[in-house]
Structure 1
Amino acid sequence: MELIALRAAVFDLDGTLIDTEPRNRVMWSRLFDAHGAPYDDAVIASFAGRRGMEVLAGLAHLFPGRTAEELFEEALSYGTLPGLPLAAPVPGAVELVRSLVAAGVPLAVVTSGQRSYAEGLLEELGVRDLLDLVVTAGDVVTGKPHPEGYLAAARDLDVTPRDAVGFEDAPAGVAAVKAAGMTCVGVTTTQPVGALAEADHVVADLKEVDVVAGPALRVRGR
């Protein structure tokens, strides 16, 4: 158990505040199936934490004649179909956000999702009005694992990266937090502990993180 002093907290969204991974995996799988493109679990997992269009650009050879933009829009369209797994808040996520706000800690979200998608999920969680800043895929030139989004959040929250804590569930996100110079708390919502080895701390969910006077975080994971 360790205390981490902080002046700001920055959260990833998918898999960190809300578990959308089962739904997203179905959407990406449907895209590959629709085009007869080969894939395995590793290919689908490669989308986690990254901007979908960037991943698709690297897989363009599997979809001859289609652009990454077209494929991305097609994948999004599958999100409106019935039968998708429901997204649920990560245990402890909403409570942690509210505790940080009560302690006067500025908050941001840095997500690889599009703004309308991110804003909708945050409203669904009931925390959008508690956030000072939301950085989405369209707000950066280069997505995770590049640190641009996290550096932008620190700048706009007016804190140095070393005084901020970033929460992530995917290897690309952990790499982005660390490259930005922030302390990273990895959450094993969607990945095994070993995949988040670069994180400074790893927890099973956000119930293992408490806000204490300082303000500081008490982390009960490893």
Structure 2
Amino acid sequence: MKKAFIFDMNGTMIDDMEYHLEGWFNILNNDLGAGMTRAAVKKEMYGKNQELLVRIFGKDRFTAAEMDELSMEKERRYQQAYLPHLRLIDGLEAFLAAAEKEGIGMGIGTAAIPFNVDFALDNLHIRHYFKSIVTANDVATSKPNPEVFLKAAEELGVDPANCIVFEDAPKGVEAAANAGMKAVVLTTMHTVEEFSAFDNILTFVPDYTTLTVPALFR
């Protein structure tokens, strides 16, 4: 029976969500005058960048081209700030190697655009572990829609019921549930209490140092 791990990226493989928050906080307030608190910005940080802008400003504020440029400017600022700190979450590299040795298929299902996915995977030299990489550009609807995880499972050739998703956000865990998948939650950005609505969670961990591959499939 084939099995697979599907990883969200930001906050799940790399602990970078505070840098995304800072990037959005500056764009939304300093550039666009939204007048939002950090807590309010944090609540909107899910899905595609363009979806975030529509949620905050409405669908008629920007053209598609303007939203694309705002999105890229935010990501350029994020990468410049985060690059000196770029590293995998503790224990992940050993966990990936162990999963590969066990013959577990691995993929990425993320709301990030390829610009950011390439930034992480190529600077960290871990692209070879992943047989499926599904980004924001590959799906019509973002999490909590399950499309991103179902597409990764299809590309890996694994039944969704035999996939475990690694996530850091409630919307991501909801997407996993909608896909019929169990989830492991990294508590890098959200508290355990924020996931109380979900019954598909196997465990909560601060990093990968205590996880073992066989234990997750018991």
- Kept after mapping to 1: 8 A contact 2:176/2:183: yes
- Deviation readout 1:95-128 (Å, 9 max, x if unpaired): 1111100111000001111113202201222211
Amino acid at match of 1:45: K
1:68 matched to which residue of 2? 67
- Deviation readout 1:57-115 (Å, 9 max, x if unpaired): 11124995564334323322323556887333211111111110011100000111111
CA-based RMSD:
2.5
Amino acid at match of 1:26: E
Structure in which a larger fraction of residues adopt helix = 2
Normalising by structure 2, report the TM-score. Answer: 0.87
2:213 matched to which residue of 1? 211
Q: Spell out the pairing of 1:120-131 with structure 2 (5 A cutoff).
A: 120-131=119-130
Verify: 1:202 aligned to 2:204, yes or no: yes
What secondary structure sits across from 2:122 in the alignment?
Answer: helix
In 1, the alpha carbon distance for the partners of 2:3 and 2:83 equals 38
How far residue 46 of structure 1 moved from its aligned partner, in angstroms, is 2.7
1:8 matched to which residue of 2? 4
Verify: 1:173 aligned to 2:175, yes or no: no
How far residue 157 of structure 1 moved from its aligned partner, in angstroms, is 1.0
1:188 matched to which residue of 2? 187
Which consecutive aligned stretches of 4+ in structure 1 deviate over 4 angstroms post-superposition? Answer: 61-67, 80-85
In 2, the alpha carbon distance for the partners of 1:77 and 1:120 equals 11
Verify: 1:25 aligned to 2:21, yes or no: yes
In 1, the alpha carbon distance for the partners of 2:151 and 2:90 equals 27
In structure 1, stretches of 5+ residues that fail to align are: none
2:32 matched to which residue of 1? 35
- Deviation readout 1:12-37 (Å, 9 max, x if unpaired): 00000111112111110110222221
In 1, the alpha carbon distance for the partners of 2:149 and 2:160 equals 8
The 1:81/1:185 distance shift into structure 2, 3 A limit, reads closer
1:56 matched to which residue of 2? 53
Normalising by structure 1, report the TM-score. Answer: 0.85
Between stretches 41-50 and 191-200, larger displacement belongs to 41-50
In 2, the alpha carbon distance for the partners of 1:202 and 1:82 equals 28
In structure 2, stretches of 5+ residues that fail to align are: none
How far residue 55 of structure 1 moved from its aligned partner, in angstroms, is 1.2
Structure in which a larger fraction of residues adopt strand = 1
